[in-house]
Amino acid sequence: MHELIAQELYEALEYAKSIDQDRGQRMMIQFEIDQPLFFQTIFNAFASIIDQRHVEMSHLFMDLCFEVLCVYQKAFGKTPRFQDDPTWMERQALLLDKELKPLMEGKKLDEKRIERMKADFFSPKPGEIIQNGLVEFLNDSVDDFVSYNTCDAATTELTKTMLFVVVRMFNNLYTKPTLQ
């Protein structure tokens, strides 16, 4: 896997926009079959967290996650299957837990430490490829939505963070060799 250059990203996003509803439903069903835990995490767990704060933002989040799925399939091929690596999602949860736990524990952290933790979270890990263009597109889409809809800053940032996590997880899914 590699970072998508502008032209590749543009073509993949155009591909995502060109998919009709029937084909999109088939892609979603196949994604749920291929990666049931990942599917549930994105479209149930993450979406419901946003939905509790802003229903329309959760719909945008799910639409953008579908576009991310399309981008990865167009650029990097079929989604790796759960049965080839059944512990993949557990490993992702452990990685995220390790990074997010200090923020979620409710401990009083000074602003400097919070900013350092955020910077660490959003920085590429050793050997990790970040799809900067895709993340920028997603963030711009959220900002565009917010320019036409009333939405608090915390929900906007939460949505952007969850989209970043989704992209990171897709990177990990497509980067890690599956067990054959």
What's the pLDDT tens digit per position in 53-102? Answer: 999 999 999 999 999 999 999 999 999 887 777 777 777 777 766 665 65
Stretch 164-179: mean pLDDT = 79
Q: Assess whether pLDDT exceeds 90 at residue 137.
A: yes
Q: What local confidence, expressed as pLDDT, does residue 121 receive?
A: 62
C-alpha distances out from residue 102 to 43, 45, 63, 108, 118, Å:
25, 20, 30, 10, 11
Q: Are 35 and 79 in contact (CB under 8 A)?
A: yes
Give the confidence band of 180 by pLDDT, cuts at 50, 70, 90: very low
The CA-CA-CA angle for residues 84, 49, 57, to 5°, reads 105
Q: What is the DSSP letter of 149?
A: S
Q: Which residue has better confidence, 115 or 12?
A: 12
Any residues with CB less than 8 A from the CB of 138 and at least 6 apart, and which?
64, 68, 160, 163, 164, 167
Q: Assess whether pLDDT exceeds 50 at residue 178.
A: no
